[in-house]
Amino acid sequence: MTNRTVVVSNRVAPIDEGRTAAGGLAVAVLAALRRSGGIWFGWSGEVVASPGETVHLTERGRLATATVDLGEDDYEAYYNGFANATLWPLFHYRVDLVDFDRANYAGYRRVNAHFARKLAGLLGPDDLIWVHDYHLIPLGEELRRLGIGNRIGFFLHTPLPPRELLATLPMHRELMRCLAFFDLVGVQTERDRVRLCGYLAGEADALLEERDGGASVRAFGREFRVEAHPIGIDAAHVERSAAGTANIRDVERLRVSLADRRLIVGVDRLDYSKGLPQRFDAFAHLLRARPGNRNRVSLMQIAPPTRGGVAEYSEIRRTLDTLAGHVNGEFADVDWVPIRYLNRSFSRRTLFGFLRLARVGLVTPLRDGMNLVAMEYLASQPPDDPGALVLSRFAGAAQYLPDALIVNPYDVEGVAEAIQAALAMPLGERRERWERSMRVLRSNSVEAWYERFLARLAGG
C-alpha cells in the first residue's frame, strides 16, 4: 500500500497501547497505520467546559493520533443523544427505544462538521480516508463541503435495519444521503448490504448495478459502491495468547472454583442488544427442565457497564441485577451459585483464559453487526478438547459460522435445548465443528479485512 491512510472513528486507541491491553481492532489499525504511515483521528474521550480549537497530536515515526475534545452540550447531543439514543437502537431494530429528538440531530451534525474542519487541516492530497461507524455518517459530506476530493470510505460496524424501520427516523433521507458522499460504503454482511440497497432503491430511486461482489449505486446525484466486508479477528494471536493463560491468577481461581463442574461463558458489553435477560431466562429454563444440571454447570456472565449517560443502560442493568438475583435465589446451593454475574472488565488475556475454560460459549444477541466474542471464544479453545459455541442467528457472525449451534435468542426453551446439546456434544463432533469454524476465522483475519477494504477503496 503506497497511500498514507487516515482512519477516523469516534474513539482513538492510545498510540502506545500494549498488544494485550488493546482490542483486536485497535491493534490492527495501529499496526497497519505504522506500516502505511498515517493518522488516526477522533474524539479524545474528554468532555470539557470550553473545548476550543485544539487538536491533540501525538506522533511516533510515521504514525500519529489526532484528537479533539467535546463540550458538554455536544457530548450530550452527539454521543449520548443522536449516536447512542437514536442511531444505536434504530440500527439494532429497537424502534421502541429510539429517541427522536431534532436538537440531538443538530448536535450530531455540528460535531461532524467540527471534526471535518479539524481533520481537513491534517490531510494530504493522496491520503486514503477511512471513516468508521454510525457516529460519523455525515463526515464524508462535511469533508466534501470543504473541498476535500480524496477517496473516502465508510464502514458500518452495526447492522442495518430494513427500509421500513429506517424510515421511522424523521431525517432518514437526509442522513442516508450522507452515504453518497463516500466512494465506498462497507457493511458487515451480505444481508446488511441487501438491506442498504433496498433502502436506496425504495427511498432514493437509486440505480443499482450488481457487479464485482457488490453494488455500484447512483443516487442523490452521486455514484458510490456498497460492499459487504465482514470483520474478523487475529485468530493466531488469540490462539497463542489463550494457550498461555493457565497461570493467570484469575483464570486459575476460576478453574479451582469450578471443581469438576462445567462452565458456560458469556462476555458482552452491558447493552440491551446483547439479549442478556433472555439468556438468563434460558439458563434458568435449563436448570428447571433438566435438573441434572443443577450443581453441575455454572454460567459466568461478564458484562461491564457502558454508556452510563443513556437512560436505557441503567434500566437494563437494573433488570439484570434483579433477574440474576432471582435465578440464584431459586437454584443456589450451599456450595454452588448458578450465575456468576460480573459487571467489570478484564485484560484480554484473562478473558481468553476464561473463554478457554468454558465448555459452552453463549453468544445470543438479539441483533449484532458481527460479534467478535463468538470468534474469540472459538480461537481460545484447546484444539484437543474444544467447547461448543451457541450463537444467535441475529449476529452477523452466524452467517460465517454455520458450524456453531445456531439459535433464536427470543426462543428461551430453544436456547436451553441448544445449551443442553452443547454440553452433551461428543468430543469428535466438537472437534469437527471447531476445525471447520477455525478455517473460516483463519482465512479472514482482521488484518486481511483492513487491507481488503483499503485496497477496494484505493482501487477506484
Residues marked as catalytic: 157, 368
Nearer to ligand ADQ, 342 or 455 (CB): 342
Closest CA to 158 of 189, 131, 183: 189
What is the number of residues in the chain? 460
Separation of alpha carbons 177 and 203, rounded Å: 10
371 interacts with ligand ADQ by CB under 6 A:
yes
Options 104-112, 313-321, 365-373, 421-429: segment touching ligand ADQ (CB under 6 A): 365-373
157 interacts with ligand ADQ by CB under 6 A:
yes
169 interacts with ligand ADQ by CB under 6 A:
no
368 interacts with ligand ADQ by CB under 6 A:
yes
369 interacts with ligand ADQ by CB under 6 A:
yes
Out of 14, 23, 162, 277, the residue judged to bind ligand ADQ by CB under 6 A: 23
Q: CB 239 → ligand ADQ: shortest distance, Å?
A: 14
231 interacts with ligand ADQ by CB under 6 A:
yes
Q: Which residues pair with 8 in a beta bridge?
A: 41, 131
Closest CA to 195 of 105, 90, 85: 90
Options 54-62, 364-372, 406-414, 451-459: segment touching ligand ADQ (CB under 6 A): 364-372
Nearer to ligand ADQ, 116 or 391 (CB): 391
Closest CA to 118 of 49, 177, 70: 70
Neighbours of 43 (CB within 10 A): 22
Separation of alpha carbons 141 and 134, rounded Å: 14
What is the grid cell recorded at 421?
A: 446439546
Nearer to ligand ADQ, 219 or 339 (CB): 339
18 interacts with ligand ADQ by CB under 6 A:
no
Options 55-63, 114-122, 178-186, 366-374: segment touching ligand ADQ (CB under 6 A): 366-374
Number of residues that bind ligand ADQ (CB under 6 A): 20
Are the beta carbons of 308 and 79 closer than 8 angstroms?
A: no
Which pairing describes strands 388-392 and 360-363: parallel, antiparallel, or unpaired? parallel
Out of 172, 269, 288, 294, the residue judged to bind ligand ADQ by CB under 6 A: 269
Tell how many helices (H) and how many strands (E) occur in the chain. Answer: 17, 16
Closest CA to 374 of 365, 383, 366: 365
Nearer to ligand ADQ, 218 or 349 (CB): 349
Are the beta carbons of 405 and 388 closer than 8 angstroms?
A: yes
First vs last Cα of the chain: how many Å apart? 14
Q: CB 158 → ligand ADQ: shortest distance, Å?
A: 6
List residues binding ligand ADQ (CB under 6 A): 23-24, 157-158, 231, 267, 269, 302, 304, 345-346, 348, 351, 368-373, 376
